[in-house]
Amino acid sequence: MSNSKNDEIGFSLSSQSIAKGHGQFPYIIVRLHYAIYLQEPIHFHPKKNNELIGINIDSNFENKIENFPKLLSIASEYKQSLDTKNNRNHRLCVVLSPNQAYYYEENEIRFLPSIPSGGTLVNSRKEIIAMGNSHFIS
């Protein structure tokens, strides 16, 4: 269960998960349950890449940051579709960097300089991809 340094409990994102787009900014984190989080990577590219898991957005911008102004709309649409699908309100945030996240709360979106970390991280197939580690690769 542990492939971290020393004898710490948990494990970090595998190279397979990273190759599928996990652990790279920007991404959405959905709180599924106490300390259980779903990570939904957001990919911007001119052509669809079937190897990547997550939200795929068509874009011709070469510089990734030029796509960031779309993130709030993307996260809002994702939340609306998730809320409708599961018939409940989901707590989620869109994470832009190690110290920048926008949290969807009851009636507002709130900026915080801290991002979700640790717990059990799963992908959209509900497979566990990390545990007790950061949700991004440095």
Partner 1 sequence: MEKQLVVRLKSGHEITFVPNEVILNNTFIDVPSLLNENKFPLLLHFTHEALVSTLNLSKMPDCVLLHLKDDFSPKSATYCINREIGDFAVHSQCKLVLFIPFPLPFELKKIKSIQLSKKSKS
For binding to partner 1 (CB under 8 A), which residues are involved?
26, 65, 68-73, 75-76, 94, 96-97, 99-100, 102, 107-111, 113
Angle 64-92-113 (CA atoms, 0-180°, nearest 5)?
A: 65
The answer to whether residues 121 and 35 touch, using CB atoms and an 8 Å cutoff, is no
Least distance from partner 1 to the Cβ atom of residue 63, Å = 10
Q: Pairing relation of β-strands 55-58 and 120-122?
A: unpaired
Q: Which is nearer to partner 1, 114 or 124 (CB)?
A: 114
Q: Which is nearer to partner 1, 3 or 80 (CB)?
A: 80
Angle 124-1-126 (CA atoms, 0-180°, nearest 5)?
A: 10
Least distance from partner 1 to the Cβ atom of residue 8, Å = 27
